[in-house]
Structure 1
Amino acid sequence: MTWFQAVVLGIVQGLTEFLPVSSSAHIRIVSELWFGDDAGASFTAVIQLGTELAVVIYFAKDIWRLLSVWFRGLFSASARREPEYRLAWYVIIGSLPIAVLGVLFQDQIKSSLRNLWITAIVLMVFAVFLAVADETAKLARDRLTLRDTLAMGFAQALALIPGVSRSGGTLTAGLAVGLQREPATRYSFLLAIPSVFGAGLFSIPDIVEGDPSGRFEASVPQTVVATVVAFAVGYACVAWLLRYVSKHSFMVFVWYRIAVGAVLCGLLATGVVSPT
């Protein structure tokens, strides 16, 4: 990998992580179309640490309150009655599906699931799911229940497949169960923190030793640069998306996903791009 490639992929990660368009799919597509090879699942997971750090900093006060109330709630009955205590447990519970499935299917995540035919089809199929959820959303509630948590947690686990989108999957599930767009988006951000940090830290040894899923390897310094770039771009995108979803639907992202998936299918069908 060149330094230019590292910077470009960092920008792509920062721009797409929080949008319901699948950052892992975009890293896969851009690295293949522009640079002629796959940057790899481990590189993708590690640079996501940058965008997730942006979430931690942006929501630092919320996260600190969640953690402090959760720790107090372990010993204090009064703290357990606070909504933040319940929300902290919802983040923990909602993170379990992706953690378990990520470990069980780690070999497939680094190999067969990176096939571009899968990415293209999944982009379009889950665009339809997002459209249906967005158009039929009741937007009735601003507080989560355990049912909402499980639905969004399992939806997040589907993002192990490039093309689903972690935010897209969780937002689709959140809208489907009746949550308003902004609280669903905030919970989606919080829910991603344990899973993204877990996957990124778990993948660091692959970068040091050589990513088996990537065909043009990034050095440790290049990965650090891509992660820093992803952090800077991602921080700006967090604030923008929260403002956007409070006043707009997600249909622009639906049509974008369909367009990208359709173009990719055309390139694959004509042999311009290799699926693996």
Structure 2
Amino acid sequence: MGESEIIYIIKMIIIGLVQGFTEPIPVSSSGHVMIASEILGLGEQGFTFAILTNTASLLAILYIYRQDIVRLISNSIYYLKTNNIQYKSDFRFVCFIVIGTIPAAVLGIILNDYIAENVSMGTIAVMLFVTGIALWLIRNMKGIKGEGEISFKDAWIVGLGQAVALTPGISRSGATIISAIAVGMKQDTALRFSFLLYIPVSLGGVVLGFSDFLNEPNKSDLAIPYLSAFIATLFMTYFAMRWFMGIMKNGKLVYFTYYCFIVGTLLLIFF
């Protein structure tokens, strides 16, 4: 393995770490991957790479929320079988996750190519400012709604927030958490709903893009760099998510407002 190949692998690991760290937090992982790729001279990462790193982030989130997922699925099945009121709250929560998934799923299919072809560093900078402003507006909000108190309207609004986040620079976690808090959810409920909402959308993207992954002409040459990025993304997403859960618990989302403003300003100056 030559020096240039080793350097390329290191760069891909860095991109994986960036993806993993920024996926859970409200600063736009897709925007940061584009920024990091530009700085490292890698150019735009292909669809196959995006699928691979998103799969790694998805696995980390699935592991963190594995108990919630098992509980929601099993209790929903029990409710459908027995109509026992004890399990109704979890069944409704699953229904709202499905409802919240619809906007991003539909718009993602329709607009994905257009968005990919019309994104610049300027776009990312502006969208980071938008994310920062939204985080500032909800910084002091303390919701009262738990899982059993979410409505159809709440789920739909949060789903629309996730759809807006298809644009690089608009954070998916940020848009959904901001929307959830804005409609009155408690911060822990907003966090859980946001990332359980992430799972079906991300899983759908992986399934739809799997054929592109299999048809990647340079799989053998890219195996080691991509595997390195995958592992880096997997572990970094896990640790970043655990860290972000602590941030949410302490109500310190406002820190990300400052970060979005700083990075957005630097992009406008240097790119």
**Deviation, structure 1 residue 103:** 0.5
**Deviation, structure 1 residue 233:** 1.1
**Inter-partner Cα distance in structure 2 for 1:264 and 1:208:** 35
Q: Is the 8 A contact 1:208 1:220 kept in 2?
A: no
- The answer to whether 1:104 aligns with 2:107 is no
Q: Which residue of 2 aligns with 1:226?
A: 229
Q: Residues 126 and 120 of structure 1: is their aligned pair in 2 closer, same or farther, counting only changes over 3 Å? A: same
Q: Residues 167 and 249 of structure 1: is their aligned pair in 2 closer, same or farther, counting only changes over 3 Å? A: same
**Inter-partner Cα distance in structure 2 for 1:205 and 1:160:** 21
Give RMSD over aligned pairs: 2.0
Number of equivalenced pairs: 260
- The answer to whether 1:77 aligns with 2:83 is yes
- The answer to whether 1:124 aligns with 2:129 is yes
Q: Is the 8 A contact 1:124 1:258 kept in 2?
A: yes
Does 235-244 or 182-191 show the bigger shift? Answer: 235-244
**Deviation, structure 1 residue 138:** 3.7
1:83-232 equivalence runs, <5 A? 83-112=89-118, 114-135=119-140, 137-143=141-147, 144-210=150-216, 219-232=222-235
**Deviation, structure 1 residue 210:** 4.5
Q: Mind listing any 5+ residue stretches in structure 2 that lack a counterpart?
A: none
Q: Is the 8 A contact 1:40 1:110 kept in 2?
A: no
**Inter-partner Cα distance in structure 1 for 2:214 and 2:224:** 10
**Deviation, structure 1 residue 86:** 0.9
- The answer to whether 1:266 aligns with 2:260 is no
TM-score (norm 2): 0.89
Q: Is the 8 A contact 2:76 2:88 kept in 1?
A: no
Task: Output the amino acid matched with 2:153.
Answer: R
**Deviation, structure 1 residue 245:** 0.9
Q: Residues 69 and 198 of structure 1: is their aligned pair in 2 closer, same or farther, counting only changes over 3 Å? A: same
Task: Output the amino acid matched with 2:233.
Answer: A
**Inter-partner Cα distance in structure 1 for 2:50 and 2:128:** 18
Q: Which residue of 2 aligns with 1:273?
A: none
Q: Mind listing any 5+ residue stretches in structure 1 that lack a counterpart?
A: 212-217, 269-276
- Residue identity over aligned pairs, in percent, reads 28
> CA offsets, 1:185-221, max 9 Å, x none?
111111100111211332233344459xxxxxx8344
